[in-house]
Structure 1
């Protein structure tokens, strides 16, 4: 008997034969068509084959990069640069050591120079002090000599209070027989004799006051007492 829901199996002919009907696809929304699953499997096989072939090719045909001339040239250049770097570093360390040594020597020399300058300064101060003392003595001697000169009277005519100071004068040595001294009134030009003498020997002395002229002849020098 034939019902409405029964469906005859599909059949056909292909080159004189029959083609079996396609299998039923799985039901459901996430179902993957069979043809797509078959394509993925084929693609996976091809990729695996390519990778296997590529790995074999790389392993058998590519040379070792460390054995190439370029690699060796780069390695040699690197080694040369490192050697030059080490040499420069050694030179730098040596120069730095020399510099530090020189700096230490300079500091030591500067300290010695400073100490020497201090000693020189002290010596200069001592010299200046000695020079000042000598100058003071010289000034004292000069003043004494001037004072002595002011208190010393030689041959000639002198106005007391102008040329010589008032006071008592005495011959510095024994006089001879030709010695003459005279005291005159100032301004009389020897006309007004107040006192005179020809001592003839010994060390005579005279008392002189302002307003008088004193004359000494062949008596040597007189010192104020």
Structure 2
């Protein structure tokens, strides 16, 4: 060992690292510290922006509010329309029930009218039959032979006669000379009975109807 060299402080058995490697690690650590200090300074010097205050967030919020308002408006219109439809459906249903009742009443009324018409028709038929029979068994003014012109039986004036009414029952074939019965009633509705072998004469007495 020379005089200018200092004794080695490295323990025995340990290999001493080169001084250049120690310097390199020192530079790396220094660089890291400097960069960290710079980055920290930048972050500490910057004001952090709240995302909810950004223009994009505010624009999205306004758009969302507009969509929500339009949705609420559409929902309100839909609810109102649905309520109106429900009301109209209820009114239509009530109207249908009323129409059904009216139809039932009309059917009943039609049946009543039909029954009444059938009764009237039957009555008219009966009256017509009676009138036809009366017409067939009616005698006007003139001379009628019983058995050939008129039927035997009792005849009555259809309406009240006047004071100039005259009737007579005559034996057939005597040319009016053999009067069996006669009368001048002068009013009312007289009746006369005739039989076969007789003639019936009526003058100004109107119509006689067989009873």
CA distance 1:156–1:61, change in 2 (3 Å): same
Report the alpha carbon displacement of residue 154 of structure 1 after superposing the two structures with TM: 0.8
1:142 is matched with 128
**How far apart, CA to CA, are the structure 2 residues paired with 1:118 and 1:156?**
60
Aligned residues between the structures: 172
Q: Which residue of 2 aligns with 1:121?
A: 107
Choose from 95, 108, 111 the match for 1:109: 95
Which residue pairs with 1:201 in the alignment? Answer: 183
Residue of structure 2 equivalent to 1:166: 151
Q: 1:175: how far off?
A: 9.2
**C-alpha distance in structure 1 between counterparts of 2:165 and 2:142, whole Å:** 18
Task: Write the distance in 1 (CA, Å) between the matches of 2:132 and 2:165.
Answer: 31
SS in 1 for 2:113: helix
What TM-score, normalized by structure 2, do the two folds share? 0.59
**Inter-CA distance 81–207: structure 2 relative to 1 (3 Å threshold):** same
User: SS of 1:110's equivalent?
Assistant: helix
**SS in structure 1 at match of 2:101:** helix
Indicate conservation of the 8 Å contact 2:142/2:202, yes or no.
yes
Conserved 8 A contact 2:156-2:210: no
Q: Distance in 2 between matches of 1:107 and 1:165?
A: 71
Quote how far apart the aligned CAs of 1:88 are: 0.8
Matches of residues 33-72 of structure 1 in structure 2 within 5 Å? 60=46, 64-72=50-58
| Structure 2 counterpart SS, 1:205 | strand
In structure 1, list runs of 5 or more residues that go unmatched.
1-37, 185-192
Cα distance change of structure 1 residues 170 and 91 upon mapping to structure 2, 3 Å threshold: closer
Question: In the superposition, relative to structure 1, how do residues 159 and 89 fare at CA in structure 2: closer, same or farther (>3 Å)?
Answer: farther
Distance 1:135 1:153, change over 3 A: same
